[in-house]
Amino acid sequence: MSHHELDARRMLCPMPVIKTQNKIKELQDGDILDVICTDPGALSDIPAWARINGHEIVGHREVDDELIITVRVVI
């Protein structure tokens, strides 16, 4: 299991979702991915994408104006 970070700052949805989707293709079961976004829409879209595709949202937190969404990869 490894921990990864994805910079999706200034991207507008659905780009953070596309980047998350493409990054997760490279990851292994159980890996953790922190997606750093600035578009608040990502808070709805990334969890929706994760639910559809069977990945787990561990949580999210806001740091300054940034949003960090943590996904656990389930393959």
74 binds other proteins (CB under 8 A): no
36 binds other proteins (CB under 8 A): no
CA distance 32 to 71: 6
Q: Closest Cα to residue 22, out of 36, 37, 33? A: 33
Do you find a cis peptide bond into 40, omega within 30 degrees of 0? Answer: no
43 binds other proteins (CB under 8 A): yes
12 binds other proteins (CB under 8 A): yes
- Closer to other proteins at the Cβ: 38 or 70? 38
Point out the residues that are catalytic: 13
